[in-house]
A and B are shown apart, each in its own frame.
Chain A
Amino acid sequence: MSAPALAGLRVVDLAGDVGNYCGKLFADLGADVVLVEPPGGCPQRTAEPTVASGPAAGTALAFVYQNTNKRSVVVDVDNDADLRLLHDMVAAADLVIDNWAPGELALRGLDRDAMTAVNPGLVVTSITPFGQTGPYARYQSADIVLLAMGGMLSLAGYGDGPPTRPYGDQSYVMAGLFGAVAAMMAVLHAEQTGVGQSVDVSVHECVTLALETAIQYYDLEGVIRGRQTGRYRHAGSGLYDCADGYVYLFVGGVASNRFWGRLVDWLVESGVPEAAVLHEPVWEDLDHLRTEEAKATFERLFTTMSAGRSKADLYHDAQAHGIPLSPVNSPADLVHSKQLRAREFFVQADDMYRAGYLTPGAPYQLSATPWTLRTSAPALGEHTEQVRAALREHVTGGAR
């Protein structure tokens, strides 16, 4: 059995809600990630929704989820002894994940030059709403504001109604993910050369990476993409009714043309003989598929077949015919998915938050250095004394 991929990597996680997921990615592959919290705990410990009952009632589920495998240290930056502890932690670290407002680290004596002087190989990854500098660097923000300003909300929502926010603070998730990729590259460089660096991640800029073709439509064809009108991107692509909810079908357009013939055959075979008309060559043309008439014709033919069938039945039958269709699942459906169960995606946790519950596990399976759930999200300050003692040893050891 190999050591974990990130064994020996020391990470100081100053991250609040923006960037908390970044630290989790490091911790779950074996890095030693210490979450630095203010007295009273970081705000995301109490964000809704929370654990409903039991000894940990009131703890945010997002905190439970995003802080697996981390240790918790309480630091009151207004207290000199605590601040010294933070300085010692940074001096001994490989990576700091920072989402304090731009300039705040410097205010606490942790500017780049000071840190480099004691720890030249240190990587500091700062994840902030708009980046470290620039006209918006001091702007206030929230997920919905960042998704709006980054452009994602111009594409999301009802054509005849307001834009709508994708679920789950996705701008923060994106920033945590891009931040982790960037931090990992800088760590690789530092381990090879001994030279650390600063990484400046902007959440707003991260969101602009999730606009599909919108920028290119404008740049190349002068077209401003907006929200989709109605439920269909084009005939054969979109949200269709079925007996117990919806399915999402994606045939034609970017999806390979070969799926179209299979789809038509499937409809005919499933008791809709008049669907044979969809074999005509005009249905191979994306411009035709985008017309309202084509969308309506296809909807009528498809729902004749789908209306009386369940989303799960349609999913398995369509896939058996080699057609990209998925059910619109709820979180409960996921937990019962045979595929996810077979992959052992959900892992069992048993801790103060609840006895024996399932939690999302490895987002990637690494054959030599697997993702592991070693410890649940820490109690506030659970490791303050442990970290303090280890640093004392480190400092004394260094002086010897």
Chain B
Amino acid sequence: MTGPLAGVRVLDFTWVGAGSLTTKLLADHGADVLKIESSVHIDSLRLNPPFAGGVRGPNRSGYFAERNSNKRSVCLNLREAQGQALARRLAADCDIVANNFRPGVMERFGLGYEDIRQIRPDVIYLAMSMQGSAGPEREYLGYGLTIGALVGLQHLTGLPDRYPVGTGTNYPDHVPNPCHAAFAVLAALRHRRRTGEGQCIDIAQTEPTIATIGTTVLDYTVNGVVREREGNGHPQWAPHGLYRCAGDDRWIAIAVRSDAEWLALADVLGLDAERYARNRHEHAAELDELVQRGTSGRDAVDLAARLQQRGVAAGPVQNSADLVDTDPQLAHRGHWVSLRHPEMGTSRYGMPPFRLSATPGELRTAAPVLGAHTREVLTEVLGMGETELDTLDAAGVLR
């Protein structure tokens, strides 16, 4: 394997959202990620749509596939003592051990930080439960959507006179949590390379998302102001918003940040530039109506291109089909990659959103079929033989 993390091995107990995306970042850059799974307690994403061809099956979910490229799937039944023992033996050969269970689950399996440290003293151990390993709410459950609500992002997102609509997705799972977690792991890896010392990283999946809206916390603690929803307005710029265009549910985003941009916008849309030459922000609502009238009936893509030619920040709201089929910038960057999967056939994956010139990330293999690499990994890493594997299999340890 190549990539900046070639030679790094990860024992990956994460599942569902944020955890799987964290280890994907490592896998896409050359780490050997061994995803420990079980048909006894299956990753719920494997059972959730969309499915290849709309046909259900634990190896057909796109929801699961996207988050598990480049990983190897090893089935171990951790409810069995022998399964736990195999996991511990694998840990001895791993640089990083990751999980996103509730606190105490890994300890019950004999796979807590202290257990692993006995076997692998310099391990980097990542625990990313919803609430962290300590505190009165440490046992509380959640997903990205409930985290977005709990930490204030939902409260802050939407129109001021309507309910807080939020992002419509499990956003904390997609970027704030996996990126913070991966950064912490990489920093710990640097520390270990320099000192030989491993460590335990404890993440509460609430805290990285609060870090993304830290300014609102300061508004309260410094100014005593509780921020509310601002819709699509901007604290300084106007016009700034999303305006309906021709077609079914087609919109354009426009942000006017300077007088020059305003003059250009007014010219393209045929608005009275002079009338709003100053104090545009005070007249934001009025301007929104004017701009809306100007964009109605126009093609969003075409209008955005015209505005860009005039130096105005504008772009169409693109949906999934637009991104995949027509976005020339994503095509230029080679963002979409097709990978073959034994059950799903060929499907599309997105590259990491950055390019390293010397050691680029790479999408090598599609998400694994459940347990596809169990025997391969146990043979390669633990040197087990066929007979031994057959015995374990028969005892229900490898499912």
Contacting residues, chain B, for A10 (C-beta < 8 A) = none
**Are A220 and B347 neighbours in the complex by a CB distance under 8 Å?**
yes
Q: Once the chains bind, are A209 and B313 in contact (CB under 8 Å)?
A: no
Chain B contacts for A283, CB-based, 8 A: none
Q: A328-B154, A331-B152 are in contact. Are A151 and B226 (CB under 8 A)?
A: no
B335 interface residue per 8 A CB criterion: yes
Q: CA of A394 to CA of B16 in the docked complex: distance in angstroms?
A: 49
B231 touches A164 (CB 8 A): yes
Residue A400 at the chain B interface, CB threshold 8 Å: no
Chain B: CB-nearest residue to A233: B145
CB under 8 Å from chain A, chain B span 303-354: 308, 311-324, 327-330, 332-333, 335, 344, 347-348, 350-354
| Contact in complex: A324, B320 (CB < 8 Å) | no
For residue A79, CB closer than 8 A to chain B, the reply is no
Contacts of A359 in B (CB 8 A): 214, 217-218, 221
Residues of A within 8 A of B171 (CB): 166, 170, 210
For B174-204 the 0/1 string (1 means CB < 8 A from A) is: 1110011111101111110101011111111
Stretch of A33-41, A264-272, A334-342, A384-392 lying at the B interface: A334-342
Q: Is the CB of A49 within 8 A of B44?
A: no
Report chain B residues within 8 Å CB of A65: 214-215, 218
* Other-chain residue from A136, A187, A247 in contact with B329 (beta carbon distance below 8 A): A136
Chain A residues with CB below 8 A from B299, complex form:
none
Q: Are B353 and A189 in contact (CB under 8 A)?
A: no
* Chain A contacts for B143, CB-based, 8 A: 250, 254-255, 324
B253 A156 Cβ-Cβ under 8 A = no
Does B381 reach chain A (CB closer than 8 Å)?
no
Query: A192 an interface residue at 8 Å Cβ cutoff?
Result: yes
From 143 to 195 in chain A, residues with beta carbon under 8 angstroms from any chain B beta carbon are 143-158, 161-168, 170, 173-175, 177-182, 184-189, 191-192, 195
A395 to B324, CA, bound (A): 51
Provide the bound-state CA to CA distance between A305 and B388, in Å: 55
Chain A residues whose C-beta falls within 8 Å of the C-beta of B312 in the assembled complex: 140
In A332-352, which residues have CB < 8 Å from any B CB?
A: 332-335, 338-340, 342-343, 345-346
Query: Given A141-B315, A250-B146, A364-B184, A319–B140 Cβ distance below 8 Å?
Result: yes
User: Interface residues of B, CB < 8 Å — how many?
Assistant: 155
The stretch of B60-68, B271-279, B372-380 that contacts the partner chain: B60-68
Taking a contact as CB atoms under 8 Å apart, the answer to whether A220 and B50 are in contact is yes
- Inter-chain contact A227/B168, CB cutoff 8 Å: yes
Residue B132 lies at the interface, judged by CB distance under 8 Å to chain A = yes
Interface stretch (choices B76-84, B86-94, B103-111, B157-165): B157-165
Give which listed residue, B141, B163, B244, contacts A162 with CB less than 8 A: B244
Distance, CA A228 to CA B167, complexed state (A)? 10
With A and B bound together, what is the CA distance between A189 and B356 in angstroms? 11
Give CA–CA (A143, B234) in the complex, Å. Answer: 10
- With the chains together, A216 CA to B179 CA distance in Å? 21
Give the Cβ gap from A122 to chain B, nearest Cβ, in Å: 12
- Determine which residue in B184, B215, B223 has the highest number of CB atoms from chain A within 10 A of its CB, and name it: B215
Which residue on A lies nearest to B209, using beta carbons?
A: A363
Contact A189 B4 (CB under 8 A): yes
Closest 7 CB pairs of A and B: A216-B62, A142-B255, A177-B179, A248-B149, A167-B156, A48-B235, A342-B135
Task: State how many angstroms separate the Cβ of A211 from the closest Cβ of chain B.
Answer: 7
- With A331-B155, A343-B135, A343-B207 already in contact, 16 other A-B pairs whose C-beta atoms are closer than 8 Å: A5-B190, A140-B261, A163-B251, A165-B157, A166-B153, A166-B157, A185-B356, A213-B50, A216-B50, A216-B63, A216-B348, A221-B53, A248-B166, A253-B48, A346-B217, A367-B201
Residues in A neighbouring B236, C-beta threshold 8 A: 47-48
Closest B residue, CB atoms, query A195: B358
**Contacting residues, chain B, for A163 (C-beta < 8 A):** 242, 251, 317
- B394 close to A (CB within 8 Å): no
- Does chain B have a CB within 8 A of A357? yes
B213 within 8 A of partner (CB): yes
Known: A164-B231, A360-B210. A181 touches B179 (CB 8 A): yes
**Do residues A331 and B187 form an inter-chain contact, with CB atoms below 8 A?**
no
Q: Are A365 and B174 CB-contacts (below 8 A) given A51-B223, A134-B329, A145-B314? A: no
Q: A61 touches which one: B159, B212, B222 (CB < 8 A)?
A: B222
Shortest CB-to-CB span from B103 to chain A, Å, is 12
Query: Is A331 touching B219 in the complex (CB atoms < 8 A)?
Result: yes
The answer to whether A324 and B230 touch (CB under 8 A), given A2-B195, A217-B62, is no
Report yes or no: A186 in contact with B190, Cβ–Cβ below 8 A.
no
The reply to whether the CB of A302 lies closer than 8 angstroms to some CB of chain B is no
B57 to chain A, nearest CB (A): 12
Q: Can you offer 28 A-B residue contacts whose CB atoms are under 8 A? A: A6-B190, A48-B236, A134-B328, A144-B241, A167-B229, A168-B212, A180-B183, A188-B189, A189-B4, A189-B359, A209-B350, A209-B352, A218-B324, A221-B53, A224-B320, A239-B154, A248-B149, A319-B137, A326-B149, A329-B151, A330-B227, A331-B213, A334-B210, A339-B140, A343-B204, A363-B203, A367-B201, A369-B191
Cα–Cα distance between A141 and B315 once the two chains are bound (Å): 8
